[in-house]
Structure formats: structure tokens, C-alpha cells
A and B are shown apart, each in its own frame.
Chain A
Amino acid sequence: MLDPAGRRSPFPAWAGVACAVLLAACSGGAASGPPALHWYVFNEQSGSFAAAAKRCSAESGGAYRVDMVPLPTAADQQRSQLVRRLAAHDPAIDLVGMDVIWVPEFAAAGWILPWKGDDARRALRDRLPSAAATARFRGRVWAAPLTANTQLLWYRSDRVTRPPATWDQMIRMAEALGDSGTIQVQGARYEGLTVFFTSLLASAGGRILAPGDTSVALPTGPTERALGVMERLARSPAADPALSTSREDQGRLAFEAGRSSFMVNYTYVWPSARADAPEVARHMAWAPWPSVIPGRPSRVTVGGIDLGVGAFTRHPRLAFQAALCLASVKSQRTAVTRGGLPPTDSLLYDDPDVRAVFPFADLLRATLRTAVQRARTPLYTDVSLAVMDVLHPLVDIDSVADVPRLRTAVRRALRSEGLR
């Protein structure tokens, strides 16, 4: 950095000092105290994840410190932040809180480390089978299941005496109720729509991908039945006028406003209604998700958060140790009692504290036991986009003509050449 006159410019001098100061500050921070493990996970509002991070840091006896790094609330934004950094081999991502549908994608891309031996056994011990299945991919274990999630049917016990057993029955009941009979489902073009379809299809005895998850299944009979329910509901006066933009939260708000009598939704609607709409909560009852085929119990999609270890972490051994603690029964108890997040540990559903939060604990556990997985493919995002592209808006569904369209779209997605 010589200027034309040959004198040294003053710039590098002060810049060098600044750099030195910054470096000293950084390395000084890292040198004091145990190594920090960064846990990227969605920003759990009740603070139960942060509490678990604190407890595990303390229990490690100075071996590590877990720093929770909150991700956005929307699942697709969480994923896009994570995958961009993981694809760039970011070593700062030690622990990842993954939506269960990301596990195959992250595992296949080599972004998370496989679990081995005793760690793998402990990660899945006493877990509900559907939750344990979310952590497996191609014969290996890739995560420790932390929380589970699934939908129940919520209805107004002051308007109907017995909950409907099937979708047909529910639509008839709702139509008979008139203005207050609205059914809340997820009809916007987003992941919730694919979940709705997956549950209907599984309840009708079908699946999107054939076993092995590499080719399209979508058998004609069950697919037509599942689409038939969507078609009938969307064209019924019992559908919400804003069906094509409704997500879980719009459904919750509409139900709390009292103008709806039925809703399929996650368990968070229960504490929410009790806090925000006690009048509605008094008459709010729960039942199994309605069947598609009379006499055949429904099968509902499983969701939740799995804990994985980032493939580029500098502390893999400590990260596995921390993940086991963060996903332990103790952490799950905090997550359910403080945040209302359903546990993956099946024994916790007998715990009195948990039953106080979830008076429907038995129904929830039974639903989770038979719950169905979404397609287990690294291309899940593409498959899901293809499904919602064909199905949205629900009111335009043609239950016969849309079966081949759906198959074509999913097939293109599996070749990862589908533009959405």
C-alpha cells in the first residue's frame, strides 16, 4: 500500500490495530468457558427450549454450553435459512431442530451425522413408533425425536351431541347447522394442504409414494376417495368462504370467534381457546380425526421436531451428548407443560402433569400410535409443492380427472426437474 510518493499510507496501520482488537476479543471469548454448541431451532414462544438448553449446559458439568439460536416461525423459512448454510458447510451449526420432513433431505445431502450404537438406542428409547420412524432413513438413525404433533377433530359439544365419525357425516351435520356449521380445514397453498391430503389419502388406504419412496403410488381408488372428500367439502356451504387461504391459525381464530362448529387442527388450539375464548372453550370437545371409509379408523399425519447433529460441527462428540439431553424426557416434560408441545416419549402421556395440560392425552397418544409418515424422500419439498400445486384451490378439484394430473406432477418432482 504505497502511494505514488513512496510513503506508507496510514490506512493499514489503524485497520491492523482494529483487526487485532477484534481477533483478541473473539478468541478471548472462546478460550474462557466450555465450548459453545449452537442449537438452531424454531423460536419456541414459552421458552421451554431455552430452559432445556440452560439445564443441559448446567448438567454437562462444564463440558459444553448450548446456545439456542432462534429460527423464524414459518417452517419453510426455517428450512431455507438452514439449508443455505448447511450447503455451504457452515461449522457453526452444531445442533439442528428439524421438522420431521427434512430428515431424509438433510441425511441424503450429508448435512447431518448418523447416530451410532448406544447413542442411537438411547435416542429412540420409549419413543412412540411413528415418532421414532421420523428419525430413521435408509436403515440408519439420523436424529433424536424431541416433540411430536398430530391433528384431532375439535367440535362444539353444544351444537352436536355426538362427534361425527366420518367426513361425509361431518359435512352433513355442518350443513344442517346452517350459518354456524362451518368446518375449518387447511386449504391454503402451503404444507398444511399436503398434510391434509396425506391424512385423507392414508385414511382411504392409499399413499403418495410406493414403499421405498422412490416411485409414485397414488392408487386410483383411495386417491379418488380422498379427492372426493376435498371436492365435496370445498363445494359445500359448510366450507369457510376463505378456504383457499386458510391455514391452521386462521382456522383456530375462526373457531375461537364461535362461527365454526368443526375443525381439524393441532393440539395447540386447546390452550389457546382456553386463554383467548373461554366461552368457546367451555363447549369445545375433541374426537378422533374423522374417517374417510365408514368403520375404518382414520390415519393422521405425524409432525414434530427431531434433533440432529450438524455434519460440519467442530464438536461432534459433545453435540451428540447435548442432543440426547435436549431431547430427553426431562426436556420433553418442560416442552409439554410450558409450551404445550406433545412429547415423543410414550410414557409421558401417563404423567399427571401432562394429563393436566392435555386432558385428551389418551386420544392423542392413540392417534400418534397409528399416525402416518409423509413421503420419506430427500425430494419431499418438491413432492409437496407438486401436490399442492395440483390441489389448490380445493374448489376446483375434479376427483377423477385430477388423479392422473397428480401422478404426473409427483413423477416430475421425483426427477427433481419439476418447476413448481
Chain B
Amino acid sequence: MRIPREHRLGWLLCAPAVLAMAAVTAYPVLAAVRLSLYRYDLRFPDARRFVGLHNYLTVLTSAVWWKAVAATLVITLTSVSAELVLGMALALVMHRALVGRRTVRTAVLVPYAVVTVVAALAWRFAFNPTTGFVQGLGILDRPWLSVSWSAFTIIILTEIWKTTPFMALLLLAGLALVPGDALRAARVDGASRAQRFFRVTLPLMKPAILVALLFRTVDALRIFDTVFVQTRGALGTQPVSLVGYDTLLVSLNLGLGSAVSVLIFVLVTGAAVAIVRGMGGALPEASFR
């Protein structure tokens, strides 16, 4: 008798949050799914009609979409893996810092506090062939945002610079969970510095790494502002979110644009599930209770 009542109380306490989420998340998602089944272009309101899965067919047979998927994956994979390595290094520095711990943590966090658009503009100006300071650095003097590979490089560097602190912060929280006793015991048993890191620290940090990877991957798959500011999608750097933006807000094609949005949603959810599945086996039971 006690448990059902507690359950009911639990549901009641959750209800406002659930209702709010339904209103601001579930409704728009469902509305987008519905719109994606219509031919609906704001410029031709009279031509609105139900077309089934035709919009999805159009998107999935379009070279533009697949190029955008490739660009998004390139940016996501390179930036997130670089961020993981650099973030771990920064987390270790922050964890071990004996003097000026606060100063170190604040300094590391500065890029994360910068607005993304401002960061993207700063990097764009730095690499401008006429006015950027990078041109004074000898071999770096070239039109960076004019060639595909270097444009990708700038976008990825901006992303790494901007979000490594976030990664470091999440990993720092994980490092704090590693019990000192375990490390000392390993040391007594004769484990080297590298062995202690890879055999003790990393496995114990897995939940934190999972969370960090999950957040960053989901975030990176939705990359928009950096590319919008730096290349506007030119030179093959167009990510999927920019395809959605252009179809919805420039072409005003709500049906087709909603199909793109739904496909992005599927892509992001798929990535999240894959990460949880991939790393889930190594998780301690408690973290998923």
C-alpha cells in the first residue's frame, strides 16, 4: 500500500515538468513529423497537400544531404576525439594543480564562456588573408577559408578551442570520483604511472567519459553557428543543420525542411543510443539505476 502511494506522489511531483516538456519538446517534434508528410511551401500556400514519405525520398536521394552528413561526421569525429584527449590532459592539470588551482580552472574555462558566434568571428578574422594576424606567421600565410581542407581545419580548431573546457570540466568531475586508495594500492603493487592511469583511473572514470562523449557528440552533430559564420556552408563544409535552416528559413519549404529536421533528430538519437550501448557494458550497475 505504501509503495503505490509513493509512486503516485512521485508522478504528481513530476507532472509539471512532464507537462512543460510535452509542451515545449514533444509537441514541436510531433508537429515537425506531421509537417514532413506534406508538400507545404509558404510561398505557395495553395499547393499544400499530403504527400506521404515523398519529402524523405527527396532528401535521401539528394547529393546535398549526403555531402552534408559526411561533413557533419568529419567535424564531429575529429573535434570530439581531439577534445577528449585535450580535455583529459586539462582535467589532469586542474586535478593536480597545487598552486593557483582556482586561477587555472578559471583560465581554462574562458573559451567556453565566449559566445560561439563571437569565437567563430574571432577565428575568421584571425585567418583573414588581408587583415588577420596569422598572415604574419610565415608559412601560415594563405587564404585559409578559401580551400576546403583548410576551411574544415579552421572550423574544427574553433570547435576544439571552444568546447574542450566543457569536456575537461566533465572529466574533472570523473577524476574526483577515483578513490585515492585504489591508486595508492596500485602503486604499492608496483604499477607504473601509465599503468595506473590506463588500468585504474580510466576504467573508474568510464561513466564520466560516457557522459562527456555523449554530450559533446550530440552537440557536435548539431553544429551550426561556427560554420554559418565562417564559411556559410561553402566548400563542402555544410553540416546537416545548415541544410535544414536553408530549407526552412530561406526556401520557406516547411514540408521538406521538416523532413530534414526529423532526419537530423534520428541521426542524433542514433548516435546517442550507439554511444550508450557501446560503453554501457563497462558501466557500474549503480549508475543506471
Contacts and interface: CB of A to CB of B under 8 A. Distances in A.
Interface of A: 76, 80, 83-84, 87, 105, 108-110, 188-190, 241-245, 250, 253-254, 257, 378-379, 381-382, 385, 389, 392-393, 416-420
A245 B42 contact: no
B129 interface: yes
Nearest to A87: B42
15 contacts: A105-B43, A108-B44, A109-B43, A189-B232, A242-B129, A242-B143, A242-B146, A379-B43, A393-B146, A416-B253, A417-B58, A418-B64, A419-B59, A420-B243, A420-B251
B256 to A, nearest CB: 7
A245 B143 contact: yes
Interface in B126-177: 129-130, 142-143, 145-147
Interface residues of B, number: 31
Nearest to B124: A245
Given A188-B234, A393-B235, A245 B260 contact: no
A76 B243 contact: no
B149 to A, nearest CB: 13
B62 interface: yes
A419 B64 contact: yes
A81 B87 CA distance: 40
A241 B143 contact: yes
B42 A419 contact: no
A64 B43 CA distance: 31
A420 B58 contact: no
B112 interface: no
Given A109-B45, A243-B146, A245-B146, A381 B250 contact: yes
Interface string B224-235: 000000001111
B256 A419 contact: yes
A189 B146 contact: no
Nearest to B247: A419
B97 interface: no
Interface in B25-60: 41-45, 58-59
B264 to A, nearest CB: 13
B54 to A, nearest CB: 9
Contacts of A416: 41, 43-44, 251, 253
B247 A244 contact: no
Contact of A80 (B62, B64, B250, B260): B250
B65 interface: yes
Interface string B241-273: 001001101111100100010000000000000
